[in-house]
Amino acid sequence: MRAYYFDNLPGDQRLPHDSGNSVSDETLKSIGVLHWHIPIDEEGLYERKVDEVAQERNYKNRDVIAISKESLGDQLEVKLKTFYHEHMHEDEEIRYIMKGSGFFDVREHDTESWIRCHMGAGDLMVLPAGIYHRFTLDENNAVRTMRLFKDEPKWIAYNRGPETDANQYRVDYVNSLQTVAVN
């Protein structure tokens, strides 16, 4: 995974939008974003390593989704617009890229800057509950992703706005950042 600040220039969301300013692992950790690279292998050893992360984080369920023209047909562009709208979840979002690639953009709370995380096969990312983020494919236009869940699979997005800013999960997330900054 490669992380850098989004350039905020107009253009297709699937383009790199690389500002040239890299983002360190420490910066990602400071906003609660964790990631690992677990290479896909023929023997399926990657599954054991993904299982270890899932067990450590108390994830019990998973599914696999494909986002591409082949899998979604005419709904692809509609889905991408939904995923790209700035939102948060009340659960951690954990994704393991099995094939293809895409971008997770995460909002750096203090600066309001977007950090773009380009993920490819073997990359696993955990986004904390309450962080504002968005997702899009890259120019390859296809990804196959394992989604992990603590309980039953669900994906409920709360689009950014005053009501979501007051959501308890968002408030808890922001408070956790202030606690980290103090320590």
133 is in an annotated binding site: yes
Tokens of 114: 């977007």
Place of tokens 């986002």: 67
Q: How far apart are CA 181 and CA 43, in angstroms?
A: 43
CB neighbours of 88 closer than 8 A, spacing ≥ 6?
A: 129, 130, 131, 132, 133, 157, 158, 160, 164, 167, 169, 170, 173
37 is in an annotated binding site: no
182 Rama class: left (phi>0) / alpha (psi -120 to 50) / beta = alpha
93 is in an annotated binding site: yes
Q: What pairs with residue 55 in β-bridges?
A: none
89 is in an annotated binding site: yes
Residue ranges of E strands in the chain: 2-6, 18-22, 34-37, 61-68, 87-88, 93-107, 114-120, 123-127, 133-137, 142-149, 158-159
CA-CA-CA-CA torsion sign (34, 40, 41, 42): positive
Binding residues: 87, 89, 93, 133
Binding residues for Fe(2+): 87, 89, 93, 133
Binding residues for Ni(2+): 87, 89, 93, 133
